């Protein structure tokens, strides 16, 4: 306050001197003017003092904020250091846990390998070499392309030749070719290795066989299966040409239950028991054309042998795991079907010595055993969540015994039917 008063008096003195100087030069100001000038100066001084006080307050506030910021910075540094220490400790714990997990996996893998080795050697009391194959429950569906060739012991033609007292016969069997078919199935897997499956096999086959007799005397052409022969014979120059067509309708329905089990760690087996329905319809149609002596004649014949049966079926399938999704599969089984078979025939000759006749035997009960075998290679791809695709390709063989044969069109003999060929199957498990 003292300094303010001194400054005020100085200002007044200066103003007075200025006024005096000015008065000397011009005119002397009045007291009122000096008083007003003094008031203006006081006002300016007051405003400057007020501004100085505001600046001092602002400086104090800034100093207070700076002090607080320094304290916050110290606390933040302490927090960062604590967090860094915690992160470092956590990383060390994670590394230690990873090492523990790796060691545990190594131990478990070693234990599993030891268990498998013990199982294969049969030295582990709690897990024998022979055990049920565990599998998750779910459905199985497959579609299969088959390419099979039927083979029969049916005689298509006999070429008969008589020279003096010597009589010879050259038998010609039916020619057979591969024909396409299909097999489809649906099954369900139960926990514990058991499963049920239903499958259907469809095949339609057809083939043609031709033969001709020599034009020498005392020769003829006949078909013992159809009961027809050369309509014109047996002079030199006579000709006889024959053609026989064979047709097969083959249908099989299998309803089976299976149980999967393991022998060791690589061999999986499946025991199969169920019922099989089989329908085998065979048909022969053919004719022999004869010419000689200016005449032409035809001897036509048709014969059918239809069988259906049902019976128990037993089979055993095995799969050897090769690794990387590949496996070798084999299967062998047998069926004992009991059913009914009927033979029918029809013959007609035109031209020389016309003839027409037919016969139809009664249905008769017949026991027809069957055997089957298959060998294949499979690849399995797992998609997760029990979903898998299995691709299989291989060879199969089937044979049926004691079917009614064709003899003179009456079916009085027995005959066998074999089916062999290749298959390609796609299986989906879910």
Q: Provide the 3-class DSSP secondary structure of residue 226.
A: coil
Rounded-to-integer distance, Cα 177 and Cα 312, Å: 30
Structural contact between residues 278 and 252, judged by C-beta atoms closer than 8 angstroms: yes
Q: Which two tokens stand for residue 153?
A: 């012991």
Mean pLDDT of 236-248: 94
Q: Provide the 3-class DSSP secondary structure of residue 3.
A: helix
Q: Answer whether the bond into residue 234 is a cis peptide, omega within 30°.
A: yes
The answer, yes or no, to whether residue 298 has pLDDT greater than 50, is: yes
Which positions ≥6 away from 402 have C-beta within 8 Å? 366, 367, 368, 369, 414, 416
The answer, yes or no, to whether residue 87 has pLDDT greater than 50, is: yes
What Cα–Cα distance (Å) separates residue 177 from each residue in 87, 180, 204, 279? 77, 10, 11, 20
The answer, yes or no, to whether residue 241 has pLDDT greater than 70, is: yes
Q: Which two tokens stand for residue 303?
A: 């014969």
For tokens 């074999």, the residue is 418
| pLDDT the model gives residue 124 | 43
Which positions ≥6 away from 428 have C-beta within 8 Å? 140, 141, 142, 387, 388, 389, 390
| pLDDT the model gives residue 123 | 44
What Cα–Cα distance (Å) separates residue 132 from each residue in 173, 223, 269? 48, 56, 9
Q: Report the percent of the chain where pLDDT is more than 70.
A: 86
Q: Report the percent of the chain where pLDDT is more than 90.
A: 50
| pLDDT the model gives residue 301 | 94
Tell me the per-residue pLDDT of 108-123, one tens digit each, with 9 for 90 and over. Answer: 776 666 666 655 554 4
Which positions ≥6 away from 329 have C-beta within 8 Å? 317, 318, 319, 320, 374, 375, 376, 377, 378, 392, 394
Q: Which two tokens stand for residue 169?
A: 């016969």
Of the ranges 54-58, 98-102, 127-131, the best mean pLDDT one: 54-58
The answer, yes or no, to whether residue 235 has pLDDT greater than 50, is: yes
Q: At what angle do helices 31-121 and 2-25 cross, to 10 degrees?
A: 140
0.75 surpassed by pTM: no
Neighbours of 368 (CB within 10 A): 24
Q: In terms of Cα–Cα distance, which of 314, 307, 317 is closest to 336?
A: 314
| pLDDT the model gives residue 349 | 92
| pLDDT the model gives residue 18 | 54
Rounded-to-integer distance, Cα 250 and Cα 307, Å: 10
Q: Which two tokens stand for residue 338?
A: 């009991």
| pLDDT the model gives residue 13 | 56
| pLDDT the model gives residue 2 | 45
Average of per-residue pLDDT values in the chain: 86
Tell me the per-residue pLDDT of 149-171, one tens digit each, with 9 for 90 and over. Answer: 999 988 899 999 988 778 888 99
Q: In terms of Cα–Cα distance, which of 310, 198, 202 is closest to 257?
A: 198
Neighbours of 259 (CB within 10 A): 16
The H or E element that residue 117 is part of is: helix 31-121
| pLDDT the model gives residue 382 | 93
Q: How confident is the model at residue 233 (pLDDT cuts 50, 70, 90)?
A: confident
Mean pLDDT of 192-213: 95
Tell me the per-residue pLDDT of 6-25, one tens digit each, with 9 for 90 and over. Answer: 555 556 555 555 555 554 44
């Amino acid at each position: 306050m003292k300094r303010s008063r001194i400054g005020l008096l100085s200002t007044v003195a200066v103003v007075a001197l200025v006024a005096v100087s000015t008065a000397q030069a011009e005119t002397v100001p009045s007291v009122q003017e000096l008083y007003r000038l003094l008031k203006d100066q006081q006002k300016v001084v007051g405003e400057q003092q007020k501004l100085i006080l505001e600046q001092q307050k602002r400086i104090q506030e800034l100093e207070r904020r700076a002090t607080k910021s320094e304290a916050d910075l110290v606390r933040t540094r302490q927090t960062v250091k604590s967090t860094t220490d915690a992160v470092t400790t956590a990383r060390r714990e994670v590394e230690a846990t990873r090492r523990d997990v790796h060691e545990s996996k190594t131990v478990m893998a070693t234990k599993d390998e030891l268990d498998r080795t013990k199982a294969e050697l049969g030295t582990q009391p709690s897990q024998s070499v022979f055990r049920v194959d565990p599998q998750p429950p779910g459905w199985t569906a497959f579609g299969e392309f088959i390419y099979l060739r039927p083979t029969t012991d049916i005689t298509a033609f006999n070429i008969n030749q008589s020279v003096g007292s010597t009589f010879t016969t050259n038998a010609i069997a039916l020619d057979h070719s591969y024909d396409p078919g299909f097999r489809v199935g649906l099954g369900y897997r139960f926990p514990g290795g058991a499963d049920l499956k239903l499958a259907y096999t469809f095949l339609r086959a057809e083939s043609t066989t031709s033969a001709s007799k020599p034009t020498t005397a005392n020769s003829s052409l006949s078909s013992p299966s159809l009961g027809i022969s050369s309509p014109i014979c047996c002079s030199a120059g006579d000709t006889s040409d024959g053609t026989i067509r064979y047709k097969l309708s083959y249908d099989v329905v299998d309803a089976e239950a299976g149980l999967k089990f393991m022998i060791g760690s690589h061999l999986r087996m499946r025991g199969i028991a169920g019922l099989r329905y089989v329908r085998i319809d065979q048909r022969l149609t053919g004719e022999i054309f004869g010419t000689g002596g200016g005449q032409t004649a035809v001897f036509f014949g048709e014969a059918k042998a239809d069988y259906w049966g049902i019976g128990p079926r037993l089979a055993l399938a095995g799969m050897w795991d090769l690794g990387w999704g590949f496996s070798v599969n084999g299967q062998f089984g047998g069926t004992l079907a009991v059913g009914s078979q009927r033979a029918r025939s029809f013959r007609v000759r035109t031209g020389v010595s016309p003839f027409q006749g037919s016969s139809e035997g009664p249905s008769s009960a017949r026991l027809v055993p069957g055997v089957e075998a298959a060998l294949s290679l499979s690849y399995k791809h797992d998609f997760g969540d029990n979903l898998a695709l299995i691709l299989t390709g291989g060879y199969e063989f089937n044979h049926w015994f004691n079917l009614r044969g064709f003899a003179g069109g009456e079916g009085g003999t027995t005959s066998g039917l074999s089916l062999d060929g290749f298959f390609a199957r796609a299986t989906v498990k879910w």
